[in-house]
């Protein structure tokens, strides 16, 4: 009996020695392209004492090999490499646009064939201005073949194996390239880049989360799938571009006379205070801007700073407050996210901030959905001082 007790004691002791303490954080190893991770993934990773993140940059092929060998727990993949023991979940679809430096004065971008000839002509002023990821022109040759129906044979001026550096080189005036929409939409809307072509026949690529089938219910995989839910909702940000311009008196007069139907008539300006409202809107210190379409027509307006705050809310944490209004006849057409992205792009280009904040009337569920789809999280609910109306506050960190 003594021997049996000793064996049981020894066995339980061994099991206890190998058991991981409940509070010990788990390591989550992710393989990923560095540009997509920096721009789209990093801000979505939950900050938790339960997890330690280890991120490895590289090509999808190499990362998948490490996943199969057990060296990684998950891979953010730019292609599906078929294996029976792997599973893929779509997390995002990126579209590619032809973009250039604002200094490129191309006379007619509407004529696609003429645009193509201007860009690749070695005798022209643009032919030597191509910026590429590699000498083989990855992405660019595919774009050229799909959009122009031609093979591109052009020696790039600069080769930079980092899409973010290509983006920066274009903004600095070095030339043109093909970039994914998520990387350039903000700088396009702020005027630091110009769109040369958003093709009608979209050139797209799907981004996947890859993991071992045996791990589909693991905490690591569930954590990442939950974190990437908002990525599925963010399609190509905008098939049109909006210009954010200083709000002029004529814009302000138009806005004051906009009339919304119930329940959005809450946002109508008071007809008895037209002059006061006019001076308020055009006063530079209130930081109002006009949202114009490509034809220069007013489609909305936005503000940055204290105008976006409502009495009764807690605004002690530092953030850029955003206000936005859309022309009544354009409301409800499903374009709210496009307007909001243009406004975000302009705000983050004008101000060095860590967080963005919007305050929305509780009844306005439509606006709340738009900002939530762009990664904003509700952090507060309060009653407006003097009115009894309920408001909610949403906050989002500025993208890396």
CA 118/CA 154 separation, integer angstroms: 12
pLDDT at 215 over 90: yes
Whole-structure pTM value: 0.55
Q: Find the helix packing angle between 140-148 and 112-120, rounded to 10°.
A: 140
**pLDDT tens per residue across span 53-87:** 999 999 999 999 999 999 999 999 999 988 899 99
pLDDT at 291 over 80: yes
pLDDT at 268 over 60: yes
For 316, phi then psi, to 5°, come to -70, -30
Last residue within a domain, chosen from 233, 253, 284: 233
Residue 167 located in a structural domain: yes
Determine the pLDDT at residue 122.
55
Per-residue pLDDT band for 21 (boundaries 50, 70, 90) equals low
Claim to verify: residue 39 and residue 177 sit in the same structural domain? no
Claim to verify: residue 216 and residue 315 sit in the same structural domain? no
Q: Which long-range contacts (CB under 8 A, 24 or more apart) does 378-387 make?
A: 380/313, 380/314, 382/310, 382/312, 382/313, 382/314, 383/312, 384/310, 384/311, 384/312, 385/311, 385/312, 386/311
Q: Which long-range contacts (CB under 8 A, 24 or more apart) does 373-381 make?
A: 373/230, 373/233, 373/234, 373/337, 374/230, 374/234, 374/337, 374/340, 374/341, 374/344, 375/43, 375/44, 375/230, 380/313, 380/314
**pLDDT tens per residue across span 150-174:** 888 888 999 999 999 999 999 999 9
Give the CATH number, domain containing residue 281. 3.40.630.30
pLDDT at 105 over 70: yes
pLDDT at 49 over 70: yes
Last residue within a domain, chosen from 204, 225, 252: 204
Determine the pLDDT at residue 13.
41
Claim to verify: residue 195 and residue 109 sit in the same structural domain? yes
Claim to verify: residue 281 and residue 344 sit in the same structural domain? yes
Claim to verify: residue 256 and residue 385 sit in the same structural domain? yes
- In order, the DSSP letters of 312-349 are TS---S--EEEEEEE-GGGTTSS-HHHHHHHHHHHHHH
Runs of H (alpha helix) within 19-72: 34-36, 60-69
Q: How many domains does the chain have?
A: 3
Per-residue pLDDT band for 246 (boundaries 50, 70, 90) equals confident
Determine the pLDDT at residue 315.
95
Claim to verify: residue 346 and residue 318 sit in the same structural domain? yes
Claim to verify: residue 213 and residue 147 sit in the same structural domain? no
Per-residue pLDDT band for 110 (boundaries 50, 70, 90) equals low
Average pLDDT score over the chain: 85
Per-residue pLDDT band for 108 (boundaries 50, 70, 90) equals low
Claim to verify: residue 89 and residue 102 sit in the same structural domain? no
pLDDT at 303 over 50: yes
Determine the pLDDT at residue 7.
36
Residue 188 located in a structural domain: yes
- In order, the DSSP letters of 58-114 are --HHHHHHHHHHTS-SEEEESS----TTEEEEEEEEEEEEEEE-TT---S-SSSHHH
C-alpha distances in angstroms, 241 versus 303, 342, 395?
19, 8, 25
Residue 305 located in a structural domain: yes
Determine the pLDDT at residue 399.
53
Claim to verify: residue 254 and residue 393 sit in the same structural domain? yes
Higher-confidence residue of 59 and 231: namely 59
Per-residue pLDDT band for 363 (boundaries 50, 70, 90) equals very high
Give the CATH number, domain containing residue 149. 3.40.190.10
Pick the closest to residue 375 from 40, 38, 75 (CA basis): 40
CA 299/CA 305 separation, integer angstroms: 21
Return the H-helix or E-strand segment holding 246: strand 243-246
CA angle, residues 278, 240, 151, in degrees to nearest 5: 155
pLDDT at 257 over 70: yes
Determine the pLDDT at residue 1.
41
Determine the pLDDT at residue 66.
96
Residue 147 located in a structural domain: yes
CA 191/CA 197 separation, integer angstroms: 15
Q: Are 393 and 358 in contact (CB under 8 A)?
A: yes
Determine the pLDDT at residue 128.
57
Determine the pLDDT at residue 229.
77
Residue 238 located in a structural domain: no
For the ranges 41-55, 231-245, 330-344, the maximum mean pLDDT occurs at 41-55
- In order, the DSSP letters of 138-206 are TTHHHHHHHHHSS------SEE-S-HHHHHHHHHTTS-EEEEEHHHHHHHHHTTSSEEEE--SS--EEE
Claim to verify: residue 185 and residue 175 sit in the same structural domain? yes
Structure tokens at 319: 């953030």
For the ranges 39-48, 111-120, 299-308, 339-348, the maximum mean pLDDT occurs at 299-308
Determine the pLDDT at residue 286.
92
Pick the closest to residue 294 from 167, 188, 203, 204 (CA basis): 188
Pick the closest to residue 240 from 190, 294, 194, 178 (CA basis): 294
CA angle, residues 189, 330, 333, in degrees to nearest 5: 90
Residue 182 located in a structural domain: yes
**pLDDT tens per residue across span 1-12:** 433 333 334 333
Pick the closest to residue 369 from 334, 400, 343, 398 (CA basis): 334
Claim to verify: residue 217 and residue 269 sit in the same structural domain? no
Residue 356 located in a structural domain: yes
Exposure class string for 205-222: b at 16+ Cβ within 10 A, else e: eebbbbbbeeeeebebbe
Give the range of the structural domain holding residue 16, as residue numbers without chain letter: 2-94+205-233
Return the H-helix or E-strand segment holding 281: helix 274-282
Higher-confidence residue of 2 and 207: namely 207
Determine the pLDDT at residue 331.
87
Q: What is the mean pLDDT of residues 37-61?
A: 92
Claim to verify: residue 194 and residue 256 sit in the same structural domain? no
Residue 168 located in a structural domain: yes
């Amino acid at each position: 009996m003594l021997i049996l007790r000793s064996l049981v004691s020894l066995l339980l002791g061994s099991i206890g020695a190998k058991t991981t303490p409940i509070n010990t954080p788990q390591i989550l190893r992710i393989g990923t392209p560095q540009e997509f991770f920096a721009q789209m993934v990093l801000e979505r990773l939950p900050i938790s004492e339960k997890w330690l993140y280890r991120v490895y940059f590289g090509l999808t092929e190499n990362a998948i090999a490490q996943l199969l060998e057990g060296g990684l727990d998950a891979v953010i993949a730019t292609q599906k490499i078929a294996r029976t023991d792997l599973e893929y979940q779509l997390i995002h679809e990126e579209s590619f646009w032809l973009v250039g430096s604002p200094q490129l004065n191309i006379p007619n971008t509407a004529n696609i064939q003429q645009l193509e000839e201007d860009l690749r002509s070695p005798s022209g002023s643009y032919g030597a201005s191509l910026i590429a990821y590699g000498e083989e022109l990855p992405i660019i040759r595919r774009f050229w073949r799909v959009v122009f129906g031609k093979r591109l044979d052009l020696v790039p001026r600069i080769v930079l194996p980092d899409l973010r550096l290509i983006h920066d080189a274009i903004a600095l005036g070095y030339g043109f390239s093909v970039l994914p929409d998520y990387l350039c939409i903000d700088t396009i809307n702020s005027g630091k880049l110009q769109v040369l072509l958003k093709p009608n026949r979209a050139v797209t690529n799907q981004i996947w989360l890859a993991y071992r089938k045996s791990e589909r219910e693991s905490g690591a995989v569930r954590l990442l799938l939950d974190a990437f839910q908002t990525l599925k909702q963010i399609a190509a940000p905008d098939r049109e571009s909006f210009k954010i311009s200083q709000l002029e008196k004529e814009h302000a007069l138009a806005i004051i006379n906009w009339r919304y139907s119930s329940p959005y008539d809450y946002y109508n300006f008071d007809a008895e205070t037209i002059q006061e409202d006019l001076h308020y809107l055009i006063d530079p210190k209130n930081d109002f801007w006009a949202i114009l379409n490509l034809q220069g027509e007013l489609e909305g307006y936005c503000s940055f700073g204290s105008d976006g705050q409502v009495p009764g809310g807690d605004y002690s944490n530092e953030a850029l407050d955003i206000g936005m209004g859309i022309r009544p006849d354009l409301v409800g057409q499903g374009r709210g996210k496009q307007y909001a992205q243009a406004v975000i792009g302009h705000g983050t280009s004008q101000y060095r901030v860590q967080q963005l904040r919007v305050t929305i009337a509780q009844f306005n569920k439509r606006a709340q959905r738009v900002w939530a789809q762009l990664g904003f999280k509700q952090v507060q609910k309060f009653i407006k001082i003097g009115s009894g109306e309920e408001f909610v506050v949403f906050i989002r960190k500025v993208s890396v």
